[in-house]
Amino acid sequence: MTPERAAITLTKILDARDGLDRFDRGPVDPEWLALNYSAQVFPREPIVVVRGEGLDGCVGALVFGATKPRRWGILYDVRQAPRRRSFTIAHELGHYLLHRGMIEETTPEGLYCSEADVEQGQGSTAIEKEADLFAATLLMPFHDLRNQIGPKQRADFCILGRLADRYGVSLTAAILRWLDYTETRALVVVSNEGFALWSKPSTSALRTGRFIRTKNAMFELPSASIARSRLGTTPAVRSADQPSDVWFDEPVFETSLRADRLDLEITLIQFDRLVEPLQEEEESDLVDRMNAPRW
């Protein structure tokens, strides 16, 4: 079963039970879902506990009991913010539904997931990426997302913040999901002290060669960019139309949000018009993101 299919199965169940307008009343509760769905569908090996602990070096884990049939548990680091916790629990539920047989055979102490594995979509292994995709699909289904913003509509931090509120996830998670959904050419850059930590383009941006290399490469922000020009300033959102040759060889609309608490800048770059894609797409590893703090 693919991550999308597993998440869509649960989405259909929740839609049937709570209605298509269920997000008007609140986001998905992954803890409740993990306990109740596993008990009904897999009664011989259910998830019996979802619990916070002080986990050093990781943010979540899927563990199992010593006897068979197995009883499973989801652990999350108690130091996570509630929205981070929600995504972590959904991520571990994805591991349970998709990978528990493999985990039982290969990891006798359970599977422990680092911060880099959760919520970024670029985990250290294929199963981490699948669990991340499951969590994003479950918590932010496209059928509801398209009612909040059109696929050809530009986004800004107000819209993306409302999406984060609606789905009970971090702003970063909402931005990454929007980039998976939008048909516009856009990319996000998260930086610190004038250097990009990671970047992700939308599919349309990638197909037209609009991406930033951050894997095994150091990218210094353009001197005329908002994020670079206001280092050390107070937190705020600023926007500007940037001419050609600031970011790329075409004009862009740049919006930058400073997260002073983490000393990070998140920059959203959007292009003015759709263009024909390049003949050859770049390899996906050119846009892989480095590990970065989440908020």
Report the topology of domain 184-287: Beta-Lactamase (3.30.450)
Q: Could you tell me which CATH number the domain at 3-139 has?
A: 1.10.10
The amino acid occupying position 231 is L
Per-residue pLDDT of the chain (295 residues; tens, 9 = 90+): 899 999 999 999 999 999 999 999 999 999 999 999 999 999 999 999 999 999 988 999 999 999 999 999 999 999 988 889 999 999 999 999 999 999 988 888 899 998 777 865 555 688 999 999 999 999 999 999 999 999 999 999 999 999 999 999 999 999 999 999 999 999 999 998 889 988 999 999 999 999 998 877 889 999 999 888 765 555 678 899 999 999 999 999 999 998 765 678 899 999 976 554 444 333 333 223 223 333 3
The residues pairing with 241 across neighbouring beta strands, listed in sequence order, are: 253
Scored b (16 or more CB within 10 A) or e, 148-179 reads ebeeeebbebeebeebbebbbbbbbbbbbbbb
**According to the model, what pLDDT value does residue 32 have?**
97
Q: Residues of CATH 3.30.450 domain(s) within the chain?
A: 184-287
pTM of the entire structure? Answer: 0.86
**68: three-class secondary structure by DSSP:** coil
DSSP 220: B
- Please name the residue ranges forming H helices in 168-239: 171-181, 203-207, 226-229
Q: How far apart are CA 241 and CA 197, in angstroms?
A: 23
Scored b (16 or more CB within 10 A) or e, 48-84 reads eebeeeebeebbbbbbbeeeeebbbbbbbbeebeebb
What is the three-state SS of 107-127? CCCCEEECCCCCCCCCCCCHH
**According to the model, what pLDDT value does residue 261 have?**
58
Q: Residues of CATH 1.10.10 domain(s) within the chain?
A: 3-139
Report the alpha-carbon angle 142-145-146, nearest 5.
Answer: 90
